[in-house]
Amino acid sequence: NKTKLSSMAKIPKVHWEDVGGLSHVRSEIMEAIELPLQHPNLFPPSTRSGILLYGPPGTGKTLVAKAVATECKLPFLSVKGPELLGSYIGESEGNVREVFAQARTCARQNKPPACILFFDELDSLAPRRGEQASGGNVMDRVVATFFGELDKDAKDCSIFVMGATNRPDLLDPSLLRPGRFDRLVYLGIFPEDRAQILAAQIRKLNLKDEPHVLAKFVVDKLPNNLTGADLSTIATGAQLLATERLCAEAENEFQMQQANGNSELTMDQLLESW
Ligand code: ATP
């Protein structure tokens, strides 16, 4: 957490076409960010809301947050909640303040002066107060500092705050007050999205076949409780398997050509020609 976040903040390269399905999520989030960006005078910072993405692991929360930043051309600062928690007195609060300060610096350097500040594992940074048996007060102070920073209005820049959690039940309820994280967006396992998610994965593999056709063909053979991350693992696993098979076949062919004395091509050239 000593790293300068603002110097690492870049506009990501995740476009909406890399995100399969989740169209309801897309429109809700874009509305919350695009409109204030286009009409800052109609949406002063005090009227803006943070967006909380919640749902099981691997359902695309981080991916979606990056896609929003890419599509809105905003630098993306990402922090994992636990990374900010230090062991010295006041260290965690200092880290929280530092992250917001860096986000403001980063926003001011951008045109328009705005950025996205994304908190992953938000539950570890804003757990329900007054419940920790030991060290409770310490954590309560961190939560209070976090809320204080969320409530601050910077006049000359906009920080769009997004958060993600698998455990919304652990969050302090006042995190969800208007002006903090008052837009809640659920990302879950939507069986009807599987083909589109798989197609988004297949597109990245640059195959000759049309991704949607391939995805439709495969998806009926898969269980319907798979997350986006599971589908991604299947797509890359299939690519690896296909490559291994291709190499094995090329190796066979190469051996045969050598045995027959007509091996004009090297193994690499043979693979290339396939
Ligand atoms: P965690 O809660 O564990 O942090 P997460 O919800 O943030 O998980 P991501 O890290 O966004 O999940 O997703 C993991 C990977 O799964 C992504 O990098 C992507 O490859 C794939 N994935 C998930 N959802 C989708 C989707 N809707 N479309 C395409 N790929 C997806």
**What ipTM was predicted for this assembly?**
0.97
Q: Residue 65 C-alpha to ligand 1 middle, in angstroms?
A: 10
Atom 21 (ligand 1): residue with closest C-alpha? Answer: 229
Is a pLDDT exceeding 50 seen at residue 191?
yes
Q: What is the pLDDT of residues 160-181, one digit of tens each?
A: 999 999 999 999 999 999 889 9
Q: Residue 219 C-alpha to ligand 1 middle, in angstroms?
A: 18
Instruction: Kindly state the tokens that stand for 113.
Output: 């002066």
- What is the distance between the terminal CA atoms of the chain, rounded to a whole angstrom? 49
Atom of ligand 1 nearest to the CA of 19: 28
Q: Residue 19 C-alpha to ligand 1 middle, in angstroms?
A: 9
Q: Does 19 contact ligand 1 (Cβ within 6 A)?
A: yes
Looking at residue 63, its pLDDT comes to: 96
Nearest to 159 by CA among 23, 16, 15, 40: 40
Q: Does 197 contact ligand 1 (Cβ within 6 A)?
A: yes
Q: Ligand 1: which of 187, 192, 193, 232 to mutate, judged by most atoms within 8 Å of the beta carbon?
A: 232
Atom of ligand 1 nearest to the CA of 197: 28
Rounded mean pLDDT of 138-166? 90
Q: Residue 270 C-alpha to ligand 1 middle, in angstroms?
A: 37
Q: What is the pLDDT of residues 20-36, one digit of tens each?
A: 999 888 888 988 898 88
Q: Does 63 contact ligand 1 (Cβ within 6 A)?
A: yes
The three-point CA angle 128-58-4 to 5° equals 70
Q: Which of 43-47, 113-117, 152-156 has the lowest mean pLDDT?
A: 43-47
Does this model's pTM top 0.95? My answer is no
Q: Does 12 contact ligand 1 (Cβ within 6 A)?
A: no
Instruction: Determine phi and psi for 17, rounding to 5 degrees.
Output: -70, -15
Q: Is 99 left (phi over 0), alpha (psi -120 to 50) or beta?
A: alpha
Q: Does 95 contact ligand 1 (Cβ within 6 A)?
A: no
Q: What is the pLDDT of residues 72-88, one digit of tens each?
A: 999 999 999 999 998 88
With contact defined as beta carbons under 8 Å apart, do 181 and 51 qualify?
yes
Mean pLDDT of the chain: 86
Is a pLDDT exceeding 90 seen at residue 147?
yes
Looking at residue 6, its pLDDT comes to: 57
Looking at residue 87, its pLDDT comes to: 85
Distances (CA, A) of 263 to 209, 214, 268, 269: 31, 35, 12, 11
Q: Does 145 contact ligand 1 (Cβ within 6 A)?
A: no
Q: Does 78 contact ligand 1 (Cβ within 6 A)?
A: no
Q: Ligand 1: which of 19, 53, 59, 204 to mutate, judged by most atoms within 8 Å of the beta carbon?
A: 59
**Whole-angstrom Cα distance, residue 35 to residue 18?**
23
Looking at residue 1, its pLDDT comes to: 47
